[in-house]
Structure 1
Amino acid sequence: MKHILEISQFPTHFKNEDFMEAFDSYRQDGFDIKWVDSSHVLAVFSSSKSAWRCLKSNTSGLKVRPLSQATRASKVKARRYSDFLQPSGPRPQTSALTAKRLVMNALGLRVNQSKSQYKAELAKLKQEKMKIPSSEEGTNGGASS
């Protein structure tokens, strides 16, 4: 679980928002906090590469260390909840097509979209779906978490 780091030696008044602010540059890639106890938290990154980058360039002023050097309680929590502490993947490309249709139907309105516009949007969606498998193969390229 190289994508997980332990954070300690932080002020007692720290809350999730404070950690999110301290590690703001990692939020877009995927970053989450899981509390171990009142003085230790686990930082879950989207990849081991992001965690390594954070470890090497720690500018937060907090004590950050890899899970292998973490306290026993942190290691136990990480092992116990390993299914929930998996790195998050990038969010898939979305389209307003389905949302628009659902909202309009819920309101009892007809979608004022021509058949050609509808077909063009469907074609775009299919094209995006075709791109997904090839791009996922490139991102996993041997990187282990």
Structure 2
Amino acid sequence: MSKNGRFYLKEKSRKLNESLKPEPHPLIVFVKSWDFIGKLSLSSISLGYIIYSLCDNAELHRTAIVIMGITIALYPFAKKMTDDGLRHSVSKKSFEIIHGTGSRNFGLIYAFLVMVAAIPLGCVYLLYHLIKYRKSLSVGKPS
């Protein structure tokens, strides 16, 4: 088949258009994924119950309620950061033991520890990707 055909020209223009499009921000890609929704629902259910029980004395527990609200929002990012770090640093079998659910696995303890440290881990993850994405945009632009 010759390279002059209609399909070849359409394919060539499609590839050119795809190469000119900027890559989407990795945080936007993560927020649009089902993984984000699952992690957000896990934090909302587990911490939402605690917030609901503290609402009787809202004046006394105002700071705890605010901190837990921030933790609910940042937990998916902190969990993604720790999951990515663990995947690169431990073997697949060890990751399944740490991350899995069941009587012999540490999934619940792992999720709780990430939830406790969600605010600093989530902030670090967000800052890392914002800085990394800005650098990648500045490298692609001519000076």
TM-score between both structures, scaled by the size of structure 1:
0.30
Higher share of residues assigned strand: 1
TM-score between both structures, scaled by the size of structure 2:
0.30
Higher share of residues assigned helix: 2
Higher relative contact order, structure no. (Cα contacts within 8 Å, ≥ 6 residues apart): 1
